[in-house]
Amino acid sequence: MTDSGRSVPRRPIAFGPDAIEAHGGSLPGPAEVTEIAHQTAAVLVGTGRAAHDPALTARLVALVDDLGLSTVADLWAGRPARSLPGALWRLYALREWVRRQPVQASREYAAGIRFTDVAHAVAGIAEPPGPDEVRVLADDILTGVFAGDLAVALERAAAFASVISAGRADLAHDRDGTDPAGAGTLTTTAAAMQRTGEDLLACARLWRVDELD
Residue-by-residue pLDDT tens, the chain, 213 positions: 334 444 333 333 343 444 434 444 455 567 888 999 999 999 999 999 999 999 999 999 999 999 999 999 999 999 999 999 999 999 999 999 999 999 999 999 999 999 999 999 999 999 999 999 999 999 999 999 999 999 999 999 999 999 999 999 999 999 998 999 999 999 999 999 999 999 999 999 999 999 999
Neighbours of 7 (CB within 10 A): 10
Are 94 and 138 within 8 A, CB to CB?
A: yes
143-174 burial: b if 16+ Cβ within 10 Å, else e: bbbbbbbbbbbbbbbbbbbbbbbbbbbbbbee
From CA 49, how far away is CA 145, in angstroms rounded?
A: 8
User: 0.75 cut: is pTM over it?
Assistant: yes
From CA 122, how far away is CA 157, in angstroms rounded?
A: 9
Are 138 and 99 within 8 A, CB to CB?
A: yes
